[in-house]
Structure 1
Amino acid sequence: MLTALSIRDVVLIEALDLDFGAGLGVLTGETGAGKSILLDSLGLALGARADSGLVRQGAAQSVVTAVFDLPDPAAAATLLADSGLDFDTSEPLTIRRIVKADGGSRAFVNDQPASAGLLRELGPYLVEIHGQHDDRGLLNARGHRALLDSFGKLDTAAVTTAHREFRDAEDALAQARATQDSAARDREWLEHAVAELTALAAEPGEEAQLAERRATMQRGEKIATELQAIAELLDGSDGALTRLRQAARILDRIAQDHPALTEALAALDRALIEGGATQDKVDEAAEALAFDPAQLEADETRLFELRAIARKHRVQPDDLAELTETLAARLTLIEGGEGEIARLEAAVATAEAAYTQAAEALSAARTAAAARLDAAVASELAPLKLDAARFRTVVDPLPRDSWSASGRDRVEFEVSTNPGAPFAPLIKIASGGELSRFILALKVALAEEGGARTLIFDEIDRGVGGAVASAIGERLARLSAGAQLLVVTHSPQVAARGAHHLLIAKSHDGLVTRTGVRALDDAARREEIARMLSGAQITDEARAQAERLLEAA
């Protein structure tokens, strides 16, 4: 709901702050008083083109601020979030648009910079403006299907689910066919690659194991001669340990002849012990580094094969086992692909049949709802002086490539304004007054299903009066019970129905002309409606008639 509108320096408006309430609000004033300026100002806040001609003469810029209280802010919040803007759904939504005299413009949503395009996207969630050249809301055929579903209280969940399953089945089939086609083109290569990889039988970690074992054997090969030489020097027939043992035996015979010889024998024993430990370690290393030349050659051959095949397939050696499984699966798909594709084709057929059944049921429900909507609109046409017109809701099948989660139907509202005239889309109606009254009839019939909670009708009573104007006023009042309505009107019958009444008037100070707006109390309302009845010269009879209209409302 629009709760406030602040206008600064727009055409003839210098400064204006308006508050709006729920229900039916009427805006009246003499022709040329500036009622269109209010709508143009609101249009700016909703993303209309920034025209520097709207800036009041002598001012640097125009500023329009509109504040909305959204009873269901989820959709607007999602749209703002997608645009990177924060919105606390417990707070009002404030839109500010600035237009500079040089033509530049800026927009803000809750004080966050925004684009005019975003304001245009927000507009349908906030306000519907129905006037001479409106092409949104009920006139946009893209929304007619949702309006019909809402009017008929139709449940589309089954169609949505069936469509998703149908599309998933089609996607799976398409992917299988693409894979099959690609694999079939590579069959000869796949057969060779799988045979080669299977024969190789690579295992994860095998390359590292082989490389480590080869490195160990290569180290052993390199120092084998040195280890043998060390063994000969230590324990050969003429080795150090042999000579030390010989010396130890001699010392053992003469050690008692002098204390130093005893100490020498003890030292020699220790040397023999360390020498023996040295020989043990050398033997241990020789055993660990021992290698079989045939095994070394076999390991090197295997390692080179692994690395060569890995380079060939542009993978790491550890990935060869997984590659073997992947390519084998592709080859299996070729060999058994026809059966899998046949299974997926059957799944698609089953899913399509389920979708068709659900969509046909929804189409039948839409056709029935369309008949009820046509009857409801028809009952509203005669009181609105549209008794020669006809309305119909067209429900036609869509081509297969246009089927969607919303079903298989194209829905559009069409009218024929004169007997014998062909039906045409609602937007093709030539007369602005007829168009507005058709929209009113539709809105009443739809009971405000879908659409914004604030509706603005610009001169819906153009060209009518008397009973027709009374009928329009009665329907506007009825419609305002579930929404906020703002109506620019020249009809006293419509004005008398308003819960709120704003008077738009020009004033002159000799130099500058300004447009102002003021809320009317009961006495002022009666006077304004009397003016609308009698013209410039207000008579007592007009005041009495105005009083009767207000009492009847």
Structure 2
Amino acid sequence: EQAHRKQSRGADIIAALETAAAGLRSDVGGAAGEVFRAAESLQPFGELDEEIAAAAALLREAAINCDEAHRSILNAQSRIDLDPEALARLEQQLANQHDLARKHRVEPEQLEEVLERLERRIENAGSLEQRLAELEEQREAALQAYRKAAHTLHARRTKRAATLSAAVTELMQQLGMEGGRFEIALSHEPEGAPSPRGDDRIELRVAANRGSSPGPLRKVASGGELSRISLAVKVAARAGPAAATQVFDEVDAGIGGETAHAVGALLRSLSDGGQALCVTHLAQVAVFADRQIQVLKSSDERETRVETAQLAEQDRVDEIARMLGGKLSEQSRAHASELLATARTRH
């Protein structure tokens, strides 16, 4: 802006410099020469009067200053260049500065602060890009580690799935589903999004009857079949301590005889180290329990009540006998006692 003002008033500056130079010239009629001559005229009398001496000294100093000022003016005259093109360029620069100031909503004098702020942003952006690059490297390393672990998990699952499927299929034959088949289908998706469960999609499939094709367990199995298959899976997959509590309902649906005994024995084995609860109507299953709880439902005109009672040994014999045939007799009690004794020996 200062350069623009200097260019725009160049003619006025030149005129002022010429006037000043003419007034200060050191020859006759110039201020510098006149002051110097005044100092010289006082010089001989300085020894006689202190004030005259002081005045002479001041005049000599003034003459020197006038002479230096004259030289500075001459130097300034030599540098002044009236250049219309330079003036146009300066005017364009000023216009650009004002446009930038309006864009950033600041005064033109504050543009330097804006520049410093933008430079800091650029510097910070460089740091962010570096950080992003570092994070991308970490992400890629983590992804590679995940893919490796997922591949190992898939290989183990594939091996274990075949073993578990065969074991569950074998147990199904004992649980009233002769000819049934259990399969674990693994769908490997190595390019899928990372998951805590790995890259496999797992579907449990079952064919409950001989000759049928395996289908999704959740769709093709009945409630009783689902409960028995669940029992078979838990027995086949058991490793280490059993779960604290496992509950089975309708596990005895549609079975009896030796199949019911097999269900009871498997339930008993699951209770080792934990607890298995089973709702059953079959005596062949109930005899394997460590404790038997009778559930009685009664109702009147106002409400329905459900009562439970843990059975003592003799009461349990009576309840097993009732579950076997509905009527209590010495023969049914003897049969119940025999079943209880047999169950205990099979434990």
Superposition TM-score tier, normalisation by shorter sequence: 0.5 to 0.7
Letter in 1 for 2:246: L
CA distance in 2, matches of 1:510, 1:496: 35
Alpha-carbon distance in structure 2 between the residues aligned to 1:382 and 1:488: 22
Shift of 1:458: 1.6
1:374 pairs with one of 151, 160, 165: 165
Residues 361/539 of structure 1: CA separation in 2 closer, same or farther (3 Å cut): same
* 1: CA distance, partners of 2:340 / 2:194: 52
Provide Cα deviations, 1:98-134, integer angstroms capped at 9, x if missing partner: xxxxxxxxxxxxxxxxxxxxxxxxxxxxxxxxxxxxx
Residue 530 of structure 1 deviates from its aligned partner by 0.3
Mapped pair 1:490 → 2:285: no
1:425 aligns with 2:216: yes
8 Å CA contact 1:429, 1:435 repeated in 2: no
Q: Which amino acid aligns with 2:121?
A: T
Equivalent residue runs for 1:202-217 within 5 Å: none
CA shift for structure 1 position 546: 0.4
CA RMSD across the alignment: 3.9
Once residues 442 and 522 of structure 1 are traced to their aligned partners in structure 2, the CA distance between those partners, rounded to angstroms, is 32
After TM superposition, list the pairs within 5 Å mapping 1:304-383 onto structure 2.
312=104, 321=116, 323-328=118-123, 330=125, 352-383=143-174
Find the aligned partners of 1:512 and 1:341 in 2 and give their Cα distance. 69
CA distance in 2, matches of 1:424, 1:450: 31
CA distance 1:318–1:454, shift in 2 (3 Å): farther
Change (3 A) 1:430 1:355: closer
Deviation at 1:379, TM superposition (A): 2.7
SS at 2:320 equivalent: helix
Instruction: Tell me the equivalent position of 1:542.
Output: 332
Shift of 1:382: 1.4
Separation of aligned partners in 1, 2:287 and 2:315: 12
Shift of 1:411: 1.6
The DSSP-based 3-state class of the residue aligned with 2:292 is strand
Q: Is the contact made by 1:454 and 1:483 (CA closer than 8 Å) also made in structure 2?
A: yes
Query: What letter corresponds to residue 104 of structure 2 in structure 1?
Result: K
1:485-536 C-alpha deviation (Å, 9 max, x unpaired): 221111111111112211122457898764322221000000000001111x
Q: Which residue is 1:53 aligned to?
A: none
Displacement, 1:362?
A: 1.7
- Write the letter of the residue equivalent to 2:322: R
Looking at structure 1, the residues matched to 111 and 292 of structure 2 have their Cα atoms a distance apart, in angstroms, of 81
Deviations 1:389-448 (A, max 9, x none): 111111211363433243211122111122332221211134322221111101111228
Structure 1 residue 543 displacement after superposition = 0.5
The aligned residue for residue 205 of structure 2 is 414
User: 501, 505, 514: which is aligned to 2:292?
Assistant: 501
Shift of the alpha carbon at 1:474? 0.4
Which runs of 4 or more aligned residues in structure 1 lie more than 6 Å from their structure 2 counterparts after TM superposition?
A: 308-311, 313-320, 339-348, 448-452, 508-512
With a CA cutoff of 8 Å and minimum separation of 6, indicate the structure with the bigger relative contact order: 1
Alignment of 1:144-543 (within 5 A): 312=104, 321=116, 323-328=118-123, 330=125, 352-398=143-189, 400-447=191-238, 453-507=244-298, 514-535=305-326, 537-543=327-333
Q: What's the secondary structure of 1:414's corresponding residue?
A: strand
Looking at structure 2, the residues matched to 539 and 492 of structure 1 have their Cα atoms a distance apart, in angstroms, of: 16
Pick closer, same or farther for the CA change 1:327–1:452 going to 2, 3 Å.
Answer: same
Q: Secondary structure at the match of 2:178?
A: coil
Q: Which runs of 5+ in 1 are unaligned?
A: 1-304
Q: CA deviation at 1:340?
A: 10
TM-score normalised over the length of structure 1? 0.38
Identity across aligned pairs (percent)? 38
d(CA) in 2 for partners of 1:386 and 1:512?
40
* Deviation of 1:550 (Å): 1.2
More off after superposition, 451-460 vs 520-529: 451-460
Over 3 Å counting, the alpha-carbon distance change for 1:459 and 1:405 in structure 2 is closer
What are the superposed Cα offsets for residues 208-248 of structure 1, whole Å, 9 maximum, x if unpaired?
xxxxxxxxxxxxxxxxxxxxxxxxxxxxxxxxxxxxxxxxx
Letter in 2 for 1:544: A
Larger deviation: 522-531 or 375-384? 375-384
The Cα shift of 1:360 comes to: 1.4
Asked whether the 8 Å contact 2:241–2:273 carries over to 1, the reply is no
Q: Give the secondary-structure state (helix, strand or coil) at the position aligned to 1:500.
A: coil
Q: Give 1 or 2 for the bigger CA radius of gyration.
A: 2
Q: Pick closer, same or farther for the CA change 1:313–1:354 going to 2, 3 Å.
A: farther
CA pair 320-360 structure 1, distance change in 2 beyond 3 A: same
Alignment of 1:5-16 (within 5 A): none
Structure with the higher fraction of residues in helix conformation: 2
Q: Which amino acid aligns with 1:460?
A: V
Are the equivalent residues in 2 in contact too, given 1:310–1:317 (CA < 8 A)?
A: no
Does the Cα contact within 8 Å between 1:415 and 1:423 map onto a contact in 2? Answer: yes
CA distance, structure 2, for counterparts of residue 464 and residue 341 of structure 1: 64
Distance 1:526 1:343, change over 3 A: closer
Check the 8 A contact 1:310/1:316 in 2, yes or no. Answer: no
**Cα distance between partner residues in 2 of 1:346 and 1:511:** 72
Check whether the contact 2:187–2:201 (CA below 8 A) recurs between aligned residues: yes
**TM-score, structure 2 normalization:** 0.59
**What is the CA–CA distance in structure 2 between the aligned matches of 1:416 and 1:542, rounded to whole Å?**
38
